[in-house]
Amino acid sequence: MNQTRIDFRQAKFLISAPDIAHLDKHLPGDVGVEIAFAGRSNAGKSSALNALTEQKSLARTSKTPGRTQLINVFELDAQRRLVDLPGYGFAKVPLEMKHKWQNALGEYLQKRACLSGVVVLMDIRHPLKDLDRQMIEWSVASEIPVLALLTKADKLGQSDKMKTVNAVRKELAEFGDWVSVEPFSALKGTGKPKVLAILDAWCHPDWLVEELERAED
């Protein structure tokens, strides 16, 4: 049963953009709420988006990590969007392109005023690589809350899963309430209700609630 105020199953593709400038040009302004999904190319980002929205092909999955190099935007409603950022850390991409995307991701986090939260997806077996930490640090420095989502949780037994979750929570404790850590499995549905609750809260920042209430009066 869907317990959230937003029905994430209603997500639909809106636009693909090769860079931040293109995104700014074709979206209806830096308004409303955006939740960004970021992670290494093998972190299972597309599978997570499809599982959370209960759509098999909303986000295209690929057996070749790093294949999709576009910002993909999905609309939840007129005010709220999910933003699928290109995977980072992929091996078979020229160094120049890696640097370009590293700079673009930093720019997006620092300049996108409507960004309400960032989901940083990491394979639970290989968490907190350098670029993962950098993404988290960028977000917190910009006062944007982070959900560190440990994907493919079904690959570990319960004991090892919780040992890893607790270790990651301990390592990220320095960021306080800005960062939460949850295990997730697109295959088994592990963690899905808690993740949706966090996303739903991000979709309803106080300023947006007040804005919508004024519009209804």
Start-to-end CA span in the chain (Å): 31
Mean of the per-residue pLDDT values for the chain? 86
How many residues would you count in the chain? 217
Distance CA 137, CA 41 (A): 19
Confidence at 26, pLDDT banded by 50, 70, 90: confident
pLDDT of residue 112: 84
pLDDT of residue 83: 92
Helix axes 130-141, 95-111, angle to 10 degrees: 20
pTM of the shown model: 0.89
Residues 6 or more apart in contact with residue 28 via CB below 8 angstroms: none
User: Of 97-111, 125-139, 147-161, which one has max mean pLDDT?
Assistant: 147-161
Evaluate whether 165 touches 131 at the Cβ level (below 8 Å): no
Tokens 């995104």 sit at which residue?
23
65: pLDDT strictly greater than 60: no
207: pLDDT strictly greater than 80: no
Distance CA 127, CA 148 (A): 9
pLDDT of residue 34: 94
Confidence at 1, pLDDT banded by 50, 70, 90: very low
Average the pLDDT over 86-90 and give the result: 74
14: pLDDT strictly greater than 60: yes
Evaluate whether 166 touches 124 at the Cβ level (below 8 Å): no
**pLDDT: is 30 or 125 the higher one?**
125
Distance CA 132, CA 134 (A): 5
**pLDDT: is 211 or 1 the higher one?**
211
pLDDT of residue 53: 97
pLDDT tens-digit series, residues 109-129: 778 889 999 999 999 999 999
